[in-house]
Amino acid sequence: MRIVGRAKDLVITGGFNVCPKDLELIRDEAQGVLAQRPGADPDPATILAALSGQIAGFTQPKAAVVVDGLPRNTIGQGQKNLMRDAGKEWFRT
């Protein structure tokens, strides 16, 4: 396997390497994720169910968390270091 991009963004689960970008693309297509209607909060269980039908079992997230927005830099890219810091209590090291 050859890792292209940032190796620290790769997730290792159950001995398998999972590219988060692949999951992000599928997650963003789930109903209510990117185009949220006022008063209609996306349901984490619904999002996880949508993912389970599209990806292999070992790549499926174990949990989903709904947030108002993600930290972005001046050109609109997600600031992964801030996201990691905010979510570190959810992950084992």
- Beta-bridged to residue 17, according to DSSP, are 12
pLDDT one-digit tens code per residue, 12-49:
887 888 887 777 787 777 766 667 666 667 788 888 88
* Residue 16, domain CATH: 3.30.300.30
pTM here is: 0.60
Q: Is residue 75 part of a domain?
A: yes
How high is the pLDDT of residue 75?
A: 92
Structural domain range at position 80: 7-90
Dump the DSSP string for 48-93: HHHHHTTS-GGGS-S-----S---B-TTS-B-HHHHHHHHGGGS--
Q: Is residue 50 part of a domain?
A: yes
User: pLDDT band for position 91 (50/70/90)?
Assistant: low
Count of domains in the chain?
1
Q: Is residue 2 part of a domain?
A: no
User: How far is residue 14's CA from residue 50's CA, in Å, rounded to a whole number?
Assistant: 21
Helix, strand, or coil here: 27? helix
